[in-house]
Structure 1
Amino acid sequence: MRVQSRYFEDFRVGEARTFLGRTITESDIVMHAGQTGDFFPHHMDAEWCRTQSFGRRIAHGTLIISIGVGMTADDVNPEATSYGYDRIRFVRPVFIGDTITVRAEVTAMSDHAKRPGELGRLDETVTVTNQHGEVVLSLVHLYVINKKGAA
């Protein structure tokens, strides 16, 4: 994990980061179900899933959010704080054995509404794709980032 101080002024719209793949396992799904209490049959009942259009068990959307966003966390920035997530979309199902990759792109920057001299707001569009290059998840990760000299 890298620790790098980057202030608001150090970012540019269009700047992108990409991350290596991660294969989703049955253990991931079972552990996530246990942690969240979500034992919905779409995730846990192979026989029931065979009767549905997707034909097999699918990963929890919240699992893919957790892993996808977690994959971007190798760039720890002590000047930034996560402010939340917008426009979360589960575009396609993720199956056991699928390998996901992540791309994060800075898509908007603005002054913080309440503290414009001290903080900036940065939106990073996070796109998760499967091994076929198909988008499975899209969201916007919102950050609040310190400005240089504001401390």
Structure 2
Amino acid sequence: MTFFEEYELGSTRKSHGRTVTEADIVLHAGQTGDFFPHHMDAEFARSLPGGERMAHGTLILSMSVGMLAGDINEQAMSYGYDRVRFIRPVHIGDTITSRSEIVGLREHPKQPELYGFADEQVEVVNQRGEVVAAFMHLYLVNRRPGSAR
């Protein structure tokens, strides 16, 4: 369990790779209702700059978060995501990896004795090392009991 006081600026994590499959895209389309031809229609996708179907940006966001969620921290929860950008398309057969760095630590504005925020910059890269997505993952983190200033 990691309390707010134990987070360190500059600490990093990196996931294992995961290859995006057609099944991933079809399942995500079914869950979200996003059946745009960019994702589902191989013939239409041939007319796109990449020439093939691409994964939903929200699928890549979800996969990248899950790929970094290997350890359960009972003292923290996801508070949200800021500055989400889908930079390059991800196609069927691409392998993505997530890497992250803690870039900000700040006290909770209303309850600093109980909580802090940790800001984690996440980049998702493909097998060529190209950044395909980037975002800030915000965590609400419990302070260690009795640690308030």
Please indicate, yes or no, whether the TM-score normalized by the shorter chain is above 0.5: yes
2:78 is the counterpart of 1:44: no
| 2:137 equivalent to 1:141 | yes
Q: In 2, distance between residues paired with 1:41 and 1:150?
A: 55
- Matched ranges for 1:1-151 at <5 A: 5-150=1-146
Paired residues of 1:126 and 1:140 also in contact (CA < 8 A): yes
Q: Distance in 1 between matches of 2:47 and 2:122?
A: 32
Cα offset, 1:114, TM superposition: 0.8
User: Percent sequence identity over matched residues?
Assistant: 56
Relative to the length of structure 2, the TM-score reads 0.96
TM-score (norm 1): 0.95
Q: Please state which structure has a larger fraction of its residues in strand.
A: 1
1:43 deviates by 0.1
* AA aligned opposite 1:81: M
Unaligned runs of 5+ in 1: none
Q: How many residues align?
A: 147
For the residue of structure 1 that corresponds to 2:67, the secondary structure is helix
Moved segments of 4+, more than 2 Å: none
Runs of 5+ unmatched residues, structure 2: none
How far apart, in 2, do the equivalents of 1:51 and 1:81 lie?
42
Residues 58 and 94 of structure 1 are in contact (CA less than 8 Å); yes or no, is this contact kept in structure 2?
A: yes
- Let me know the Cα RMSD of the aligned residues: 1.0
Give the letter aligned to residue 19 of structure 1: S
What's the CA shift string for 1:8-49, capped at 9, x where partnerless? Answer: 011111000111100000000001001111000000011011
